[in-house]
């Protein structure tokens, strides 16, 4: 089969497209992600010249567009896949060309180092410099492999991606027929994967063996569909949405919930009504004796549409701890971006931080929460069918990185309580029933992680390594 594919190098591009689409985003098969880079690398080994590189660029653009189309469902138009896919194709395609350059000038071992380094830099750029978050990261394809994901507690999610890219590079070298020179490198990579799994299993076992006090928290859903259509809800609909929220909040409190988190955009509040609305929330929290994270939107302008996407943290005594505006609106979302430091609310049950939905696709914001040493993060969220349930599963990586629990209360998607090791301790889909109240016990205290202390040291190291390899390649050409 390899000889047939080699005889028609373009067929490797077709296979690469199939594997990339099959492994990424919604309904992705994580096992395929380990081999998905191999056809692209094989194509580069077999070809040269501008025409072949142009074909590669076209194939990558098509592949990433098809992958992103898997998550673009109503109410989003399909054309939205293109502006998200093209940066992915560029920033995760250039590392392939970098691998080929290093391989030709410095040899196979240097190229095996280069591919993970370049991929990590590309992935980091998507969330560190661009507003695209961690979508497209290889690590996200492994959301079901908890032992492997524990590496994120040291390196952040990019360590997982680097390990996968190193394995793919070794597989391609084996496919190319290399034997003697490959043995040492393959042994190193296999050992690294093995040690990572051992570390992850040990971390999970130790976590399971340690008793930990817990707190009962609730994710409360909504009937509101504000934002899913251009029309704003009328006051009759808003009153019905409010009644549903209050009833579900009372149910959660009656069941013993200490913290209740509403979904993102759980309702809409007109600016002239907000003071009275906040007074009602304060009375509700005091009457029920709960901490309440009440998320809602406030329309500021109908044309062009502009709104505040926010939550109000109300303590159990009825006082307002803080108001938080979503820091990272989704590209195209007409929301005022928040700029305040990440919040922290303390009491005898632990420290609580917060964020809203897409904020937690940016490790830097989650890292700010972790460095506040919060034990739990309230994360009001709103998804759509195309990113359900993977968006909630991706949030588990932020829990592992920061060592804190997460209550992700999700409209149009999966609500979950996630512990500091990324384990979903309870979950409920808003599509399953209309009760939309999830009760889950989460640890009162978080855990310390190297990543929370050191931050993005691993992408920095990969960037320095990549620059060093490119510098050596340039000197060799000279």
| Cα distances (angstroms) measured from residue 229 to each of 81, 199, 225, 350, 386 | 19, 47, 8, 39, 17
Which residues are within 8 A (CB) of 476 and not within 5 positions of it... i.e. 6 or more apart? 105, 106
Specify the pLDDT at position 256: 97
Model confidence at 73: pLDDT above 90: no
pLDDT in tens, 189-222: 999 999 999 999 999 999 988 888 999 999 999 9
Residue pLDDT, tens place only, 148-175: 999 999 999 999 999 999 999 999 999 9
Residue extents of the structural domains in the chain:
2-208+456-477, 214-444
Among the ranges given (57-61, 64-68, 346-350), the one the predictor scored with the smallest mean pLDDT: 346-350
Beta bridge partners of residue 406, listed in sequence order: 377, 418
- Which pLDDT value is given to residue 6? 72
How high is the pLDDT of residue 2?
Answer: 67
Confidence of residue 80 (pLDDT cuts 50, 70, 90): confident
Q: Sorting pLDDT into bands at 50, 70 and 90, what band is 114?
A: very high
Provide the pLDDT for residue 53: 96
Q: State pLDDT tens for residues 403-440.
A: 999 999 999 999 999 999 999 999 999 988 778 999 99
The pLDDT score that the predictor gives to residue 212 is: 86
Asked if residue 111 lies in contact with residue 103, where contact means CB atoms within 8 angstroms, the answer is yes
What's the mean pLDDT in 367-376?
Answer: 97
- Its CATH class, for the domain covering 214-444, is alpha beta
Segment 79-94 mean pLDDT: 94
Instruction: Calculate the dihedral angle through the C-alpha atoms of 142, 143, 146, 147, rounding to the nearest 10 degrees.
Output: 10
Which of 382, 428, 376 lies closest to 406, judged by CA? 376
For 255-314, the pLDDT digits (tens) are 999 999 999 999 999 999 999 999 999 999 999 999 999 999 999 998 888 999 999 999
Residue 77, pLDDT score: 85
CA distances from 283 to 66, 145, 263, 269, 289 (A): 49, 44, 20, 17, 10
Given a contact cutoff of 8 angstroms between Cβ atoms, the answer to whether 260 and 218 are in contact is yes
What pLDDT sits at residue 304? 87
pLDDT in tens, 310-335: 999 999 999 999 999 999 999 989 99
Query: Tens digit of pLDDT for each residue in 9-55?
Result: 899 999 999 999 999 998 999 999 999 999 999 999 999 999 999 99
pLDDT value at residue 378: 98
pLDDT recorded at residue 434: 73
What pTM does this model have?
Answer: 0.95
Helix axes 10-23, 37-46, angle to 10 degrees: 160
Query: What's the pLDDT at 87?
Result: 96
Q: Which residues pair with 320 in a beta bridge?
A: 314
User: Please, are residues 369 and 342 in contact by the beta-carbon 8 Å criterion?
Assistant: yes
Give mean pLDDT, residues 444-469. Answer: 97
How confident is the model at residue 478, as a pLDDT?
58
33, 24 contact by CB (below 8 A): yes
Return the H-helix or E-strand segment holding 381: strand 376-382
247 CB neighbour count, 10 Å cutoff: 12
What share of the chain in percent tops pLDDT 90?
87
When the pLDDT of each residue in the chain is averaged and rounded to a whole number, the result is 95
């Amino acid at each position: 089969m390899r000889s047939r594919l080699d005889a028609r190098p373009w067929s490797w591009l077709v296979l690469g497209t199939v594997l990339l689409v099959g492994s990424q985003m919604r309904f992705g098969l994580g096992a395929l992600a380990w081999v998905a880079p191999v056809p692209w690398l094989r194509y580069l080994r077999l070809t040269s010249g501008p025409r072949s590189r142009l074909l590669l660029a076209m194939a990558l653009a098509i592949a990433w567009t098809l992958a992103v189309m898997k998550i673009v469902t109503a109410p989003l138009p399909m054309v939205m896949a293109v502006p998200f896919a093209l940066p992915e194709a560029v920033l995760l395609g250039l590392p392939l060309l970098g691998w080929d350059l290093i391989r030709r000038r410095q040899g196979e071992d240097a190229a095996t180092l280069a591919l993970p380094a370049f991929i990590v830099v590309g992935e980091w750029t998507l969330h560190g410099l661009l507003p695209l978050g961690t979508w497209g990261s290889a690590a996200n394809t492994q959301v079901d492999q908890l032992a492997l994901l524990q590496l994120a507690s040291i390196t952040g999610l990019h360590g997982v991606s680097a390990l996968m890219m190193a394995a793919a590079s070794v597989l391609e070298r084996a496919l190319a027929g290399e034997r003697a020179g490959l043995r040492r490198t393959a042994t190193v990579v296999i050992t690294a994967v093995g040690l990572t799994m051992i570390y992850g299993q040990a971390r999970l076992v130790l976590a399971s063996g340690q008793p930990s006090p817990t707190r009962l928290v609730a994710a409360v859903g909504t009937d509101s569909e504000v934002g899913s259509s251009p029309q704003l809800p009328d006051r009759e609909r808003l009153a019905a949405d409010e009644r549903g929220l209050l009833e579900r909040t009372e149910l959660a409190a009656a069941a013993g919930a200490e913290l209740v988190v509403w979904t993102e955009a759980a309702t809409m509040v007109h600016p002239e009504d907000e003071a009275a609305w906040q007074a009602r929330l304060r009375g509700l929290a005091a009457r029920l004796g709960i901490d309440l994270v009440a998320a809602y939107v406030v329309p500021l302008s109908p044309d062009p549409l502009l709104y505040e996407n926010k939550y109000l943290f109300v303590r159990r005594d009825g006082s307002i701890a803080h108001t938080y505006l979503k820091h990272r609106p989704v590209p195209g979302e007409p929301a005022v971006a928040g700029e305040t430091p990440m919040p922290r609310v303390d009491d005898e049950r632990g420290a609580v931080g917060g964020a809203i939905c897409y904020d937690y696709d940016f490790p830097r914001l989650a890292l700010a929460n972790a460095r506040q040493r919060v034990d739990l993060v309230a994360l009001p969220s709103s998804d759509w069918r195309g990113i359900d349930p993977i968006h909630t599963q991706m949030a588990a990586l932020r829990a592992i990185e920061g060592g804190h629990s997460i209550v992700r209360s999700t409209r149009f998607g999966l609500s979950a309580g996630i512990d500091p090791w990324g384990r979903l301790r309870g979950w409920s889909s808003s599509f399953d029933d209309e009760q939309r109240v999830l009760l889950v016990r989460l640890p009162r205290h978080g855990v310390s992680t190297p990543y929370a202390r050191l931050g993005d040291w691993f992408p920095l190291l990969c960037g320095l390594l990549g620059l060093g390899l490119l510098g050596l390649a340039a000197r060799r050409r000279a």
